[in-house]
Amino acid sequence: MAGMAETSRPRGGDHGTDRTDRTRARRKAQQGRGTAVPAADPADARLEHARDGKLKLNRPKRGLIDETEAQQIAEDRARLQQQGIGGPLDGRMLSNPAATDGGRPQVRPQAEGWKQQTTDDGRPLLQFKQPRVAQPKTHLADLTLAERQAKVAELGFPAFRAKQLSNHYFNHFTSDPDRMTDLPKGAREKLVTELMPPLLTEVRRLTTDNGDTIKFLWRLFDGALVESVLMRYPGRVTLCVSSQAGCGMNCPFCATGQNGLTRNMSTAEIVEQVVRANEVIAEGALGGLRKDGGHNAERVTNIVFMGMGEPLANYKRVIASVRRMVDPAPEGLGMSARHITVSTVGLVPAINRLAEEGIPVTFALSLHAPDDELRDELIPVNSRWKADEAIDAAYNYFVKTGRRVSIEYALIKDMNDHAWRADLLGQKLNARGRGWVHVNPIPLNPTPGSIWTSSEPDVTDEFINRLEAAGIPTTLRDTRGKEIDGACGQLAAEGDEDEGAEGDVTPSDRRPGASSASIDLRA
């Protein structure tokens, strides 16, 4: 989700006496309401007592879920369904007026200001494959270093020129032949023309008042528009990147998906967003610098695939771009895989495939509802892979990699923020084990008059409290760049009518209505 803050309000993990007492009181109160809150079971195969007597999580064995674990998951799911949780019984909870909190209504998802594309039988249209369209010319960022060397040799130059070109691109963030003074003057133009074709043209740049957040609107070679958001935090810089032009997941709240999928972005187009962001940082254009003498990152340190598009629907190119990001310079950008987050709305086969890649990226599942009746409407891909299947795949990612999984949950007023849903979410996550997951509730950017608006503060607190009482580490995420439509759910590639407009634009210069009236929780 674009423009998100990575840390804001940690609400879990405090094992002090006061927190323990509050948790016990909350658990007792919930049990009084008839909600069973599972306690940490010392017999759990993944838990053991530390020296201080507290429970700690054992690191899982690396490998696929074995037959025993698969059987345990099946038994847990069956047990939950017997209690009315999960599977076909979810609908009973949603349809039962008594299940709402304090008489609050159940708002149903619906597209606002646009018509959702549907199939002949009236179901939301899902596009997993891109249309047959032209792709950009091959760029050196599409290739491994060995492949670049072969290409350079094919052009009649010594293979080592490939490493020089790569050094200029990945270390100096430039494709300008005039700056490549270590290359023969007569060779520069040809090498750049053949290996560095233009990828992104900057159309617009919106900057927050304090300069710590910049939203870029890029035009691709074929005229398609995408956006990315650059954010400075103390000691780090995060870039939210797009992976597709448009999106084929067709969620009713989604600004990006209104017109469907235009095409997948190439590996180099994804990587180019990072290189161009690094160039902007090197020019000193990203403000929000620390004044306390602390460390300021001089380049992008963190990547989140939460911009436009569904990353796992463009699997091969996204994985290739991740490899290019983590490859040591000058073959790549030399970033840490652990500082790269890949998110999805729940493409289960691709999640399992990602777990096999051997790249320790952070994985995030955009769940937004734990019950299938609501999620079927909120996230159309849920008709293909249900919530429990997506959660199982997320758990498998943890088992395979040892990397804790994030569950993204945008809180929408009267739609998915009822306290019983927090209980249901906690129960489903705990059924797979303890300590493997972290939940990020995200306050939705409010839009006057829209059904897609943020939960009330007391409702948000109650939702978080329920998750904490279930022992689920929970962090309420903040957003960045609201005044430039660069925050969570506000990427829509608006403003394409201003052909050739470049440079900084203040919020007052934005296209009227280019706000989060249509929001994109997935992106």
DSSP string, 11-80: -S---SHHHHHHHHHHHHHHHHTT---PPP-TTSTTEEE-TTS-EEEPPPPSSS--HHHHHHHHHHHHHH
Contact 200, 274 (CB under 8 A): no
Q: Is 254 annotated as a binding residue?
A: yes
SS3 274: helix
Dihedral sign for Cα 458, 462, 463, 465, please: positive
Q: At 323, list the tokens.
A: 């490899």
Q: Is 314 annotated as a binding residue?
A: no
Instruction: For residue 496, report the phi and psi dihedrals to the nearest 5 degrees.
Output: -70, -10
Long-range contacts of range 97-100, CB-CB < 8 Å, 24 or more positions apart? 99/418, 99/420, 100/418, 100/420
Q: How many CB atoms lie within 10 A of CB 27?
A: 18
Contact 396, 351 (CB under 8 A): yes
Contact 113, 103 (CB under 8 A): no
**Do the bridges between strand 225-233 and strand 236-240 make them parallel or antiparallel, or are there none, so unpaired?**
antiparallel
| DSSP bridge partners of 55 | 49
Long-range contacts of range 512-518, CB-CB < 8 Å, 24 or more positions apart? 514/485, 515/447, 515/485, 515/490, 516/255, 516/445, 516/447, 516/452, 516/485, 516/487, 516/489, 516/490, 517/112, 517/113, 517/447, 517/450, 518/112, 518/113, 518/114, 518/253, 518/254, 518/255, 518/258, 518/492
CA distances from 515 to 16, 204, 207, 368, 509 (A): 42, 16, 15, 21, 13
Contact 365, 406 (CB under 8 A): yes
Residues serving a catalytic function are 227, 488
Q: How many CB atoms lie within 10 A of CB 364?
A: 22
Helix H or strand E segment including 392: helix 387-401
Q: Is 343 annotated as a binding residue?
A: yes
The burial class, CB within 10 Å (0-12 / 13-18 / 19+), for 155 is middle
Closest by CA to 93, choosing from 423, 477, 465, 384, is 423
CA distances from 366 to 375, 444, 491 (A): 11, 14, 16
User: Among all chains, which residue has been given the structure tokens 């990072």?
Assistant: 274
Q: What is the Cα–Cα distance from 420 to 466, expressed in whole angstroms?
A: 9
Q: Is 228 annotated as a binding residue?
A: no
Q: Is 310 annotated as a binding residue?
A: yes
Q: At 470, list the tokens.
A: 């279930």
Q: What is the Cα–Cα distance from 272 to 199, expressed in whole angstroms?
A: 7
Q: Is 247 annotated as a binding residue?
A: yes
**Residues in binding site for S-adenosyl-L-methionine:** 309-310, 343, 366-368, 445
**Residues in binding site for [4Fe-4S] cluster:** 247, 251, 254
**Residues in binding site:** 247, 251, 254, 309-310, 343, 366-368, 445
